[in-house]
Amino acid sequence: MDRAASLKCKIGPSILNADLSQLYAESQRLLDSGADYLHLDVMDGSFVPNLTFGHPVVKCLRKRIPHAFFETHMMVQDPEQWIEPMADAGVSQYTFHIEPVLKNVMPICRKIREAGMKVGLALKPATGIDAVRQFIDHADMILIMTVEPGFGGQKFMTDMMPKVQWLRHNYPLLDIEVDGGVGLNTINACAEAGANMIVSGTAIINACDQRSVIASLRETVESSIHKCNV
C-alpha cells in the first residue's frame, strides 16, 4: 500500500487556550482557517490537577458546529464514566489515558466503539511504548504527549520522539498524534519522527494569522509523509 497516499496530515488546534467565553466563535474561526478537527481537553482535577469543561459544553458546541470532527482528550481518572455522556454530546473520537486503567483498556476500547466513537490511546511522557503495545491494534490513534498533561504552554519534550519513531516504523499507516508545545519551532521534529496528527494550542490560538500557521504546520508534515522514509 502506498503510505503517502493513505496517511493523511491532520491539524487539530487545542481550544483550551482560546477565549472560552467565545468558544463557538473561536472554534469556528479555527475550522475556517483550515483546521481538520478540534482537540478538546477534558480534565477532572484528579488525574491532572486542573479542571476544564465536560460533556455539557461539548454538547452545546456540537449543536453550533454539527459536522466537524471532535476529539476529546480525556485526562481523567475514570475514562469509562464519561463514554456515554461524550457519545451523546456528539464526540467523534474518545482519546483516554491508559495509565489509570491498564487492566481495563480493552473493555473501555470496546465500549467506546459500541458508543459509536473512534478510539484514541494516550501516553504520558513517563509511560513507555511497552505499556500500549498490546492495545495498538484495537485503537484508531495513539497520542504521544510531548509535555506533562494538564497545563498549557509547557516546553516541548524532544526526547518523546523515539516513541513516535517506533510507532511509525512498526505501524506505517497508524494515526499518531503529538500534543504539547507543538508549534513552528518544533514541528520539524514531530514530522520527521512520523507524527501525522498535530495538536497545537498557543502556537495557533495566539497567532495573528491562524490560517498561515496551520498551513505551515501542514506543509512540514506532508513533506515528511511524502518522503516515506520515517
User: What is the rounded average pLDDT of the residues 206-224?
Assistant: 97
Distance, CA of 20 to CA of 55 (rounded, Å): 15
pLDDT of residue 52: 93
Lowest mean pLDDT segment, chosen from 3-12, 117-126, 143-152, 165-174: 3-12
Residues annotated as part of the active site: 41, 179
Task: Identify the residue whose cell numbers are 490511546.
Answer: 121
Residue 222 has pLDDT above 90, yes or no: yes
∠ CA 14-66-96 to the nearest 5 degrees? Answer: 45
Q: Between the CA of residue 58 and those of 17, 27, 96, 161, what are the distances in Å?
A: 16, 11, 16, 31
pLDDT of residue 4: 45
Using an 8 Å Cβ cutoff, are 106 and 116 in contact? no
Lowest mean pLDDT segment, chosen from 22-26, 37-41, 153-157: 153-157
pLDDT of residue 228: 52
What pLDDT band is residue 229 in, cutting at 50, 70 and 90?
A: very low
Amino acid letter for position 154: Q
> Per-residue pLDDT tens for 140-191?
999 999 999 987 668 999 999 999 999 999 999 999 999 999 999 999 999 9
CATH number of 3-227: 3.20.20.70
Tell me how crowded residue 72 is: count the other CB atoms within 10 A of its CB: 27
Residue 230 has pLDDT above 70, yes or no: no
- Locate the domains of the chain by residue range: 3-227
Using an 8 Å Cβ cutoff, are 8 and 196 in contact? yes
Distance, CA of 218 to CA of 120 (rounded, Å): 21
Residue 1 has pLDDT above 70, yes or no: no
Distance, CA of 84 to CA of 150 (rounded, Å): 23
pLDDT of residue 150: 83
Residues whose CB is less than 8 angstroms from the CB of residue 18 and which lie 6 or more positions away in sequence, other chains included: 26, 27, 30, 205
